[in-house]
Amino acid sequence: MITPFKEDESVDYDALRRLVDYLLQNSTDFLCILATTAETPTLSEDEKHQIKDLVIDRVNGRIPIVMGVSSNCTRSVIHTLETEDFTGIDAILSVVPYYNKPSQEGIYQHYKAIATSTDMPIVLYNVPGRTGVNMKAETTLRIANDFPNVIAVKEASGDITQMDDIIKNKPNTFQVISGDDGITYPLLTLGAVGVISVIGNAFPREFSRMIRLAMQGDYANALTIHHKFAELFKLLFVDGNPAGVKSMLNAMGMIENKLRLPLVPTRITTYDTIRKVLNDLNIKC
Protein backbone atom coordinates (compact mmCIF):
# COMPACT_ATOMS: atom_id res chain seq x y z
CA MET A 1 0.00 0.00 0.00
CA ILE A 2 1.00 3.59 -0.69
CA THR A 3 0.85 6.29 1.96
CA PRO A 4 -1.35 9.11 0.65
CA PHE A 5 -0.27 12.65 1.56
CA LYS A 6 -2.14 15.96 1.55
CA GLU A 7 -0.84 19.03 -0.27
CA ASP A 8 1.05 20.03 2.89
CA GLU A 9 2.66 16.53 2.89
CA SER A 10 0.90 15.42 6.08
CA VAL A 11 -0.53 11.90 5.97
CA ASP A 12 -4.01 11.89 4.44
CA TYR A 13 -5.71 9.44 6.78
CA ASP A 14 -9.12 9.93 5.13
CA ALA A 15 -7.67 8.94 1.76
CA LEU A 16 -5.95 5.98 3.44
CA ARG A 17 -9.30 4.77 4.80
CA ARG A 18 -10.84 5.07 1.34
CA LEU A 19 -7.96 3.17 -0.20
CA VAL A 20 -8.25 0.33 2.33
CA ASP A 21 -11.99 0.11 1.60
CA TYR A 22 -11.32 0.12 -2.14
CA LEU A 23 -8.82 -2.72 -1.82
CA LEU A 24 -11.14 -4.73 0.44
CA GLN A 25 -14.02 -4.33 -2.01
CA ASN A 26 -11.97 -5.36 -5.04
CA SER A 27 -10.66 -8.87 -4.42
CA THR A 28 -7.44 -8.10 -2.53
CA ASP A 29 -6.23 -11.22 -0.69
CA PHE A 30 -3.99 -9.46 1.84
CA LEU A 31 -2.48 -6.05 2.49
CA CYS A 32 1.20 -5.19 2.78
CA ILE A 33 1.75 -1.99 4.77
CA LEU A 34 4.72 0.18 5.71
CA ALA A 35 7.08 -1.21 3.08
CA THR A 36 8.86 0.35 0.07
CA THR A 37 5.79 1.70 -1.73
CA ALA A 38 4.59 3.32 1.51
CA GLU A 39 7.62 5.69 1.54
CA THR A 40 8.32 4.27 5.00
CA PRO A 41 11.78 5.88 5.40
CA THR A 42 10.09 9.30 5.34
CA LEU A 43 7.46 8.46 7.99
CA SER A 44 7.83 9.28 11.67
CA GLU A 45 7.39 6.55 14.27
CA ASP A 46 4.11 8.15 15.35
CA GLU A 47 2.83 8.17 11.75
CA LYS A 48 3.79 4.52 11.32
CA HIS A 49 1.83 3.58 14.45
CA GLN A 50 -1.21 5.58 13.32
CA ILE A 51 -1.14 3.99 9.86
CA LYS A 52 -0.81 0.51 11.33
CA ASP A 53 -3.67 1.06 13.78
CA LEU A 54 -5.93 2.59 11.12
CA VAL A 55 -5.41 -0.29 8.70
CA ILE A 56 -5.91 -2.94 11.38
CA ASP A 57 -9.12 -1.24 12.54
CA ARG A 58 -10.45 -0.81 8.99
CA VAL A 59 -9.65 -4.36 7.89
CA ASN A 60 -11.17 -5.76 11.09
CA GLY A 61 -9.78 -9.25 10.50
CA ARG A 62 -11.29 -9.69 7.03
CA ILE A 63 -7.96 -10.35 5.29
CA PRO A 64 -4.39 -10.82 6.55
CA ILE A 65 -2.03 -7.88 6.99
CA VAL A 66 1.72 -8.09 6.34
CA MET A 67 3.83 -5.27 7.78
CA GLY A 68 7.30 -4.14 6.78
CA VAL A 69 9.87 -4.38 9.58
CA SER A 70 13.32 -3.73 8.15
CA SER A 71 16.68 -2.16 8.94
CA ASN A 72 20.31 -2.50 7.98
CA CYS A 73 20.93 -2.94 11.72
CA THR A 74 19.90 -6.43 12.82
CA ARG A 75 19.58 -5.35 16.44
CA SER A 76 17.07 -2.65 15.46
CA VAL A 77 14.78 -5.19 13.76
CA ILE A 78 14.95 -7.49 16.77
CA HIS A 79 14.26 -4.61 19.17
CA THR A 80 11.16 -3.66 17.15
CA LEU A 81 9.91 -7.24 17.12
CA GLU A 82 10.46 -7.64 20.85
CA THR A 83 8.98 -4.33 21.99
CA GLU A 84 6.20 -3.34 19.56
CA ASP A 85 2.62 -4.60 19.66
CA PHE A 86 1.89 -6.75 16.59
CA THR A 87 -1.70 -7.60 17.48
CA GLY A 88 -3.64 -7.63 14.20
CA ILE A 89 -0.53 -8.18 12.08
CA ASP A 90 -0.31 -11.63 10.50
CA ALA A 91 3.29 -11.60 9.21
CA ILE A 92 6.25 -9.30 8.74
CA LEU A 93 8.11 -8.45 5.54
CA SER A 94 11.81 -7.84 6.12
CA VAL A 95 14.18 -6.71 3.38
CA VAL A 96 17.77 -7.86 2.89
CA PRO A 97 19.98 -5.34 4.77
CA TYR A 98 20.69 -2.37 2.52
CA TYR A 99 23.74 -0.13 2.07
CA ASN A 100 25.99 -2.32 4.28
CA LYS A 101 26.30 -4.91 1.46
CA PRO A 102 26.64 -7.97 3.71
CA SER A 103 28.04 -11.27 2.45
CA GLN A 104 25.74 -14.25 1.90
CA GLU A 105 26.77 -15.52 5.34
CA GLY A 106 25.93 -12.10 6.80
CA ILE A 107 22.48 -12.21 5.19
CA TYR A 108 21.92 -15.69 6.60
CA GLN A 109 22.99 -14.64 10.10
CA HIS A 110 20.80 -11.52 9.90
CA TYR A 111 17.67 -13.57 9.19
CA LYS A 112 18.69 -16.27 11.68
CA ALA A 113 18.83 -13.66 14.42
CA ILE A 114 15.43 -12.27 13.41
CA ALA A 115 13.74 -15.65 13.03
CA THR A 116 14.93 -16.89 16.40
CA SER A 117 13.80 -13.69 18.16
CA THR A 118 10.11 -13.98 17.24
CA ASP A 119 7.32 -16.44 16.54
CA MET A 120 5.88 -14.10 13.88
CA PRO A 121 5.74 -15.49 10.35
CA ILE A 122 8.47 -13.83 8.29
CA VAL A 123 8.52 -13.02 4.57
CA LEU A 124 12.01 -12.39 3.19
CA TYR A 125 12.37 -9.57 0.68
CA ASN A 126 15.10 -9.69 -1.95
CA VAL A 127 15.40 -6.52 -4.04
CA PRO A 128 19.04 -6.00 -5.02
CA GLY A 129 18.21 -2.96 -7.14
CA ARG A 130 17.46 -1.14 -3.89
CA THR A 131 19.63 -2.92 -1.31
CA GLY A 132 22.85 -3.20 -3.31
CA VAL A 133 23.23 -6.94 -2.69
CA ASN A 134 21.46 -9.99 -4.08
CA MET A 135 20.36 -12.77 -1.75
CA LYS A 136 21.33 -15.81 -3.80
CA ALA A 137 19.06 -18.81 -4.23
CA GLU A 138 21.22 -21.00 -2.01
CA THR A 139 20.99 -18.46 0.83
CA THR A 140 17.21 -18.16 0.50
CA LEU A 141 16.88 -21.95 0.50
CA ARG A 142 19.21 -22.31 3.47
CA ILE A 143 17.10 -19.86 5.48
CA ALA A 144 13.85 -21.50 4.33
CA ASN A 145 15.04 -24.93 5.41
CA ASP A 146 16.46 -23.84 8.76
CA PHE A 147 13.70 -21.62 10.16
CA PRO A 148 10.06 -22.79 9.99
CA ASN A 149 8.62 -19.35 10.76
CA VAL A 150 10.25 -17.99 7.57
CA ILE A 151 7.30 -18.74 5.31
CA ALA A 152 8.01 -16.99 1.99
CA VAL A 153 10.23 -14.73 -0.06
CA LYS A 154 9.18 -11.66 -2.02
CA GLU A 155 11.55 -12.03 -4.96
CA ALA A 156 12.39 -8.90 -6.93
CA SER A 157 15.86 -9.77 -8.19
CA GLY A 158 14.65 -9.87 -11.79
CA ASP A 159 16.62 -13.12 -12.25
CA ILE A 160 14.11 -15.70 -13.50
CA THR A 161 16.69 -18.50 -13.28
CA GLN A 162 17.34 -17.70 -9.63
CA MET A 163 13.62 -17.58 -8.85
CA ASP A 164 13.02 -20.86 -10.64
CA ASP A 165 15.84 -22.44 -8.63
CA ILE A 166 14.14 -21.39 -5.39
CA ILE A 167 10.74 -22.63 -6.56
CA LYS A 168 12.15 -26.01 -7.59
CA ASN A 169 14.15 -26.65 -4.43
CA LYS A 170 12.18 -24.96 -1.64
CA PRO A 171 10.52 -26.86 1.22
CA ASN A 172 6.78 -27.42 0.78
CA THR A 173 5.95 -24.96 3.57
CA PHE A 174 7.82 -22.10 1.89
CA GLN A 175 6.35 -19.94 -0.88
CA VAL A 176 7.74 -17.68 -3.59
CA ILE A 177 5.91 -14.40 -4.15
CA SER A 178 6.65 -12.06 -7.04
CA GLY A 179 7.97 -8.64 -6.09
CA ASP A 180 7.79 -7.25 -9.61
CA ASP A 181 4.42 -6.73 -11.33
CA GLY A 182 5.89 -7.00 -14.82
CA ILE A 183 7.25 -10.52 -14.38
CA THR A 184 4.48 -11.87 -12.16
CA TYR A 185 2.79 -13.74 -15.01
CA PRO A 186 5.87 -15.78 -16.03
CA LEU A 187 6.68 -16.46 -12.36
CA LEU A 188 3.18 -17.85 -11.82
CA THR A 189 3.72 -20.28 -14.67
CA LEU A 190 6.85 -21.51 -12.83
CA GLY A 191 5.07 -22.02 -9.51
CA ALA A 192 5.02 -18.70 -7.67
CA VAL A 193 1.88 -18.18 -5.58
CA GLY A 194 1.10 -14.50 -6.05
CA VAL A 195 2.52 -11.00 -5.89
CA ILE A 196 3.07 -8.16 -3.45
CA SER A 197 2.03 -5.62 -6.00
CA VAL A 198 2.46 -1.94 -6.77
CA ILE A 199 -0.15 -1.70 -9.53
CA GLY A 200 -2.54 -3.56 -7.23
CA ASN A 201 -3.06 -0.27 -5.37
CA ALA A 202 -4.85 1.04 -8.45
CA PHE A 203 -6.22 -2.12 -10.11
CA PRO A 204 -6.70 -4.76 -7.41
CA ARG A 205 -9.65 -6.57 -8.97
CA GLU A 206 -8.22 -6.96 -12.47
CA PHE A 207 -4.69 -7.79 -11.36
CA SER A 208 -5.83 -10.32 -8.78
CA ARG A 209 -8.02 -11.87 -11.45
CA MET A 210 -4.88 -12.44 -13.54
CA ILE A 211 -3.27 -14.16 -10.54
CA ARG A 212 -6.24 -16.43 -9.94
CA LEU A 213 -6.60 -17.36 -13.60
CA ALA A 214 -2.92 -18.30 -13.83
CA MET A 215 -3.04 -20.33 -10.62
CA GLN A 216 -6.06 -22.19 -12.01
CA GLY A 217 -4.06 -23.02 -15.14
CA ASP A 218 -5.97 -20.64 -17.41
CA TYR A 219 -2.78 -19.12 -18.78
CA ALA A 220 -4.34 -17.78 -21.99
CA ASN A 221 -6.81 -15.47 -20.25
CA ALA A 222 -4.24 -14.53 -17.62
CA LEU A 223 -1.81 -13.56 -20.38
CA THR A 224 -4.46 -11.32 -21.96
CA ILE A 225 -4.68 -9.33 -18.70
CA HIS A 226 -0.88 -9.26 -18.40
CA HIS A 227 -0.59 -7.77 -21.89
CA LYS A 228 -3.39 -5.28 -21.14
CA PHE A 229 -1.29 -3.77 -18.37
CA ALA A 230 2.11 -4.11 -20.05
CA GLU A 231 2.53 -0.39 -20.80
CA LEU A 232 1.39 0.62 -17.31
CA PHE A 233 3.96 -1.75 -15.78
CA LYS A 234 6.70 0.28 -17.49
CA LEU A 235 5.17 3.62 -16.51
CA LEU A 236 5.05 2.56 -12.87
CA PHE A 237 8.80 2.77 -12.51
CA VAL A 238 10.10 5.11 -15.22
CA ASP A 239 10.21 7.96 -12.66
CA GLY A 240 10.56 5.73 -9.62
CA ASN A 241 8.22 4.01 -7.20
CA PRO A 242 5.71 5.03 -5.84
CA ALA A 243 5.64 8.10 -8.09
CA GLY A 244 4.09 6.10 -10.94
CA VAL A 245 1.27 4.47 -8.99
CA LYS A 246 0.53 7.73 -7.14
CA SER A 247 0.10 9.40 -10.54
CA MET A 248 -2.31 6.65 -11.55
CA LEU A 249 -4.33 6.97 -8.35
CA ASN A 250 -4.37 10.75 -8.72
CA ALA A 251 -5.60 10.49 -12.33
CA MET A 252 -8.34 8.18 -11.04
CA GLY A 253 -9.37 10.85 -8.50
CA MET A 254 -8.39 8.86 -5.41
CA ILE A 255 -5.44 10.76 -3.86
CA GLU A 256 -3.36 13.93 -4.11
CA ASN A 257 -0.25 13.51 -6.26
CA LYS A 258 2.15 14.17 -3.38
CA LEU A 259 5.33 12.41 -2.26
CA ARG A 260 7.86 13.28 0.43
CA LEU A 261 11.40 14.28 -0.43
CA PRO A 262 13.72 12.92 -1.59
CA LEU A 263 11.01 11.42 -3.81
CA VAL A 264 9.10 13.64 -6.23
CA PRO A 265 6.08 13.12 -8.52
CA THR A 266 6.43 11.82 -12.05
CA ARG A 267 7.32 14.18 -14.86
CA ILE A 268 4.40 15.87 -16.60
CA THR A 269 5.09 13.84 -19.74
CA THR A 270 4.86 10.58 -17.76
CA TYR A 271 1.66 11.72 -16.05
CA ASP A 272 0.09 12.63 -19.41
CA THR A 273 1.07 9.24 -20.83
CA ILE A 274 -0.46 7.50 -17.81
CA ARG A 275 -3.72 9.42 -18.33
CA LYS A 276 -3.75 8.46 -22.01
CA VAL A 277 -3.19 4.76 -21.26
CA LEU A 278 -5.90 4.81 -18.61
CA ASN A 279 -8.31 6.43 -21.08
CA ASP A 280 -7.40 3.83 -23.69
CA LEU A 281 -8.22 1.15 -21.10
CA ASN A 282 -11.57 2.88 -20.47
CA ILE A 283 -10.59 3.64 -16.89
CA LYS A 284 -12.19 6.84 -15.63
CA CYS A 285 -9.75 9.70 -15.02
Task: Yes or no: say if 173 and 147 are a contact pair by the CB < 8 Å rule.
Answer: no
Does the active-site annotation cover 125? Answer: yes
- The larger pLDDT score, comparing residue 150 to residue 282, is at 150
DSSP 200-238: GGT-HHHHHHHHHHHHTT-HHHHHHHHHHTHHHHHHHHT
User: Taking the mean position of all CA atoms in its chain, how far away is CA 170?
Assistant: 21
Tens of pLDDT, residue by residue over 219-268, are 999 999 999 999 999 999 999 999 999 999 999 999 999 999 999 999 99
Predicted confidence (pLDDT) at residue 284 exceeds the cutoff of 90:
no
- For 13-222, which CATH superfamily applies? Aldolase class I (3.20.20.70)
Which H or E element spans position 271?
Answer: helix 268-280
Say how far apart CA 92 and CA 227 lie, in whole Å: 31
Tell me how far CA of residue 56 lies from CA of 16, 126, 154, 210, in angstroms: 12, 26, 22, 27
SS3 28: coil
Q: Among the options 52, 154, 246, 258, which is catalytic?
A: 154
Q: Among the options 108, 111, 125, 271, which is catalytic?
A: 125
Tens of pLDDT, residue by residue over 135-192, are 999 999 999 999 999 999 999 999 999 999 999 999 999 999 999 999 999 999 999 9
Say how far apart CA 279 and CA 22 lie, in whole Å: 20
Task: Yes or no: say if 37 and 2 are a contact pair by the CB < 8 Å rule.
Answer: yes
Can you give the residue ranges of every domain in the chain?
A: 13-222
The DSSP call for residue 241 is T
Tens of pLDDT, residue by residue over 31-61, are 999 999 999 999 999 999 999 999 999 999 9
This prediction's pTM: 0.95
Say how far apart CA 9 and CA 7 lie, in whole Å: 5
Does the active-site annotation cover 101? Answer: no
The DSSP call for residue 11 is B
